[in-house]
Structure 1
Amino acid sequence: MSTRTKNSNKKKKKWLKWTLIISLLFVVGIGVYGFSIYRSLTSATDQMHQSIDRDGSDKRAEEVQFEEKDPFSVLLLGIDRDENGTGRSDTMMVMTVNPQEETTKILSIPRDTYTEMIGAGYGYDDKINHAYAFGGVPMAMDTVENLLDIPIDYFVEVSMEGFEELVDAVDGVTINNNFSFESGGHSFPEGELSLSGDEALAFTRMRYEDPNGDFGRQERQRQVMEAFIQEGASVNSLWNFGNIFDALGNNIKTNLSLDQMVDIQREYRAAASSLEQSTIENGSGQMIDGIYYYVVPDEEISKIQSSLKDHLNL
């Protein structure tokens, strides 16, 4: 064998050696990165998890089994707190998920909806968003459950004060604004807008200038939350996972465990592809004892109850 051939073989072996070393480091790096993501996710979900003092629902005979793909419901609460720390549910939505139909429905409940408060010491009608202020998550779940006549299985509570942090964690969101207005010191022209956290909070809080009132605000809140989810799920956000998980842990509470979240992601993924949104309509604003309420006719409530029961296979 010639000297040139020997040198060539040595170079090939050396190149192969370094290729293997670099590949190994790359694989190890991905493993460390993946472990870091998992550890951050676990920490965030531990911080997010909140048990509630509630015996479950008398409207459900058996507990939801995710591995059997049972339909389930979630109460989504956007909580706004005053300077004294008292919180009210600024936003209330009920999400029902049916994996057999591969559909998800989200019903927005106007905050001024006049309904019976369900909880110890309460038995009168009031604005539905007062239920959280009076009795926290359990009373909010029980009151919504009574209004809609369906089991409310889980809850997700989002701090509106922390909304700014959530949006900034994904480097802002892009939404489509239907009409121009000003709010919170910001101007929002009509058309596609890129919003920072502070801008997104002002965008979702505006209410009185909207010709659709509370319904218009609900639509803006839904837009921003959808945009946040899309940004958080993007490839670009993978490199910013630490900030995203920190923001989630700081500002979201739920009685869903990490294992349950994983089961939902695995077993119910197809249901998220078909999303139907609605709100409680055909009500009317009425003054009762000098206070404004949104009063919904019984026939409208019955229609909504029937639709949700069908979707939950009840």
Structure 2
Amino acid sequence: MATSDPVADARGRARSRRTRRWIWGIVFVVVGVLVAVAVVAVGYLGRLSASYDKAETLPSSEVFPTATARPADVNAEAVNILLLGSDSRKGLGGSLGDIRGQRADTMLLVHIPADRSGVQVISFMRDNWVEIPGYGNAKLNAALAYGGTPLLVQTLEQIIDVRIDHVAITDFEGFKGLSEALDGVTVDNRIAFKNGGYTFPQGSIDLRGDEALAYVRARYPFSDGDYQRVRNQQAFIKGMVDKLLSRETLTDPGRIAASVDALAPYLAVDAGLDAGTVASLGISLRDVDKSEILFLTSPTLGTGMVGDQSIVKPDWDGLAALSDALQNDTVPQYAAEHPSQ
């Protein structure tokens, strides 16, 4: 058994990797949309599949916890995909060993119901104060530092009592290339702010590359910190989906191919999330309209302090209701009854 202090080790590595924080997990949600819009050109799928296969495949043992530590799969036809992201490709090595000591700033669960009637994207705030198996109570994002992706998956599954089927990880270079391949993304920005040397006025703004990264990373310009960052990230996803489903993209196979080409080399997925699986999901979602892609945040009760740590207090009653909605494919009804912060 190792004798080192995992908390001290994590802090030490985090200090030495300040520029490699885990802060982006939304990009993979567009891959299924890309495939969905591309199936109209069957002869084109071969090239798209070849591009997607450039993604790194991770063994299940390095992504998921042991079977005995996981909830029962009570809604087997539904699909749940956990999205994570990294500043550095070095954190996505073959064993994912370098992920230990880093913390996930952004975590999204994409829920695809059994009847494929829509897609729900649920943000989990990194500072949720929860029990991490084997380590006691801590911030949710500490699970990655303590035990890598398997422990983060186990912690989230313990919170929502729903099995996560797939995990996808990407980094900023893939995101930058994707936003540029789409010739920019238009976002409805609700609050004017500055970050990373960029100014973001209120209203409709066009973002790409480093400017887009500065937008979705911003936390400190806002009085409510991560809450507004989550809102901005969701606004960006909506803008990206609008661009993907726009006529200018749907009628431009080259743009679709360029988008997949830009993302795939910077993408790591579990072994089960291969091109065939993504294509199958895309085909099953071909009738989903962008209005049926729902964005929400896991329920919380605001912020608080534990010692010298600022935390987010989970709403456990609300999480129980969310768990029931995920198990029964009633997330839209849940969202109507539990508006996100």
TM-score relative to the length of structure 1: 0.76
Deviations 1:274-298 (A, max 9, x none): 2222212342322212111112143
Deviation at 1:113, TM superposition (A): 0.5
Paired with 1:72 and 1:195, the residues of 2 have a C-alpha distance of 30
Cα pair 1:115 1:126 within 8 Å, conserved: yes
Is it true that 1:92 corresponds to 2:107 in the alignment?
Answer: yes
Paired with 1:212 and 1:176, the residues of 2 have a C-alpha distance of 19
- Structure 2: gaps of 5 or more residues: 1-40, 92-97, 332-341
Q: What value does the CA root-mean-square deviation take over the aligned residues? A: 3.0
What's 2:169 paired with? Answer: 157
Paired with 1:99 and 1:297, the residues of 2 have a C-alpha distance of 26
Deviation at 1:211, TM superposition (A): 3.6
Cα pair 1:45 1:249 within 8 Å, conserved: yes
Letter in 2 for 1:116: E
What's 2:141 paired with? Answer: 129
Cα pair 1:48 1:254 within 8 Å, conserved: yes
What's 1:295 paired with? Answer: 313
Deviation at 1:123, TM superposition (A): 2.9
Deviations 1:196-220 (A, max 9, x none): 2111000111112224421211121
Residues 81 and 294 of structure 1: CA distance in aligned 2, closer, same or farther (over 3 Å): farther
| Alignment partner of 1:116 out of 115, 125, 131 | 131
Paired with 1:46 and 1:276, the residues of 2 have a C-alpha distance of 29
What's 1:24 paired with? Answer: none
Deviations 1:38-81 (A, max 9, x none): 235324334243333134574235894xxxxx112111223345
1:138-287 paired onto structure 2 within 5 Å: 138-160=150-172, 162-232=174-244, 234-235=249-250, 237-241=252-256, 243-255=258-270, 256-271=273-288, 273=290, 274-287=292-305
Deviations 1:159-214 (A, max 9, x none): 24542222122221111111211111111111111112111000111112224421
Aligned partner of residue 125 in structure 2, secondary structure:
coil
Deviations 1:231-273 (A, max 9, x none): 3451365224554223211222222111111111122334565
What's 1:41 paired with? Answer: 49
Residue identity over aligned pairs, in percent, reads 24
Cα pair 1:205 1:217 within 8 Å, conserved: yes
Aligned partner of residue 102 in structure 1, secondary structure:
coil
Is it true that 1:60 corresponds to 2:72 in the alignment?
Answer: yes
What's 1:11 paired with? Answer: none
What's 1:26 paired with? Answer: none
Which deviates more, 154-163 or 229-238? 229-238
Cα pair 1:72 1:312 within 8 Å, conserved: no
Which deviates more, 232-241 or 285-294? 232-241
Cα pair 2:189 2:235 within 8 Å, conserved: no
Cα pair 1:170 1:237 within 8 Å, conserved: no
Paired with 2:319 and 2:74, the residues of 1 have a C-alpha distance of 25
Residues 250 and 311 of structure 1: CA distance in aligned 2, closer, same or farther (over 3 Å): same
Cα pair 1:79 1:91 within 8 Å, conserved: no
Paired with 1:104 and 1:111, the residues of 2 have a C-alpha distance of 22
| Alignment partner of 1:72 out of 50, 55, 79 | 79
Letter in 1 for 2:166: Y
Cα pair 1:98 1:271 within 8 Å, conserved: no
Cα pair 2:118 2:285 within 8 Å, conserved: no
Tell me which structure has the larger Cα radius of gyration: 1
Residues 249 and 149 of structure 1: CA distance in aligned 2, closer, same or farther (over 3 Å): same
Paired with 1:216 and 1:104, the residues of 2 have a C-alpha distance of 22
- Structure 1: gaps of 5 or more residues: 1-32, 65-69
TM-score relative to the length of structure 2: 0.70
Residues 288 and 249 of structure 1: CA distance in aligned 2, closer, same or farther (over 3 Å): same
Residues 34 and 281 of structure 1: CA distance in aligned 2, closer, same or farther (over 3 Å): closer
Residues 134 and 45 of structure 1: CA distance in aligned 2, closer, same or farther (over 3 Å): farther
Aligned partner of residue 135 in structure 2, secondary structure:
coil
Residues 63 and 295 of structure 1: CA distance in aligned 2, closer, same or farther (over 3 Å): closer
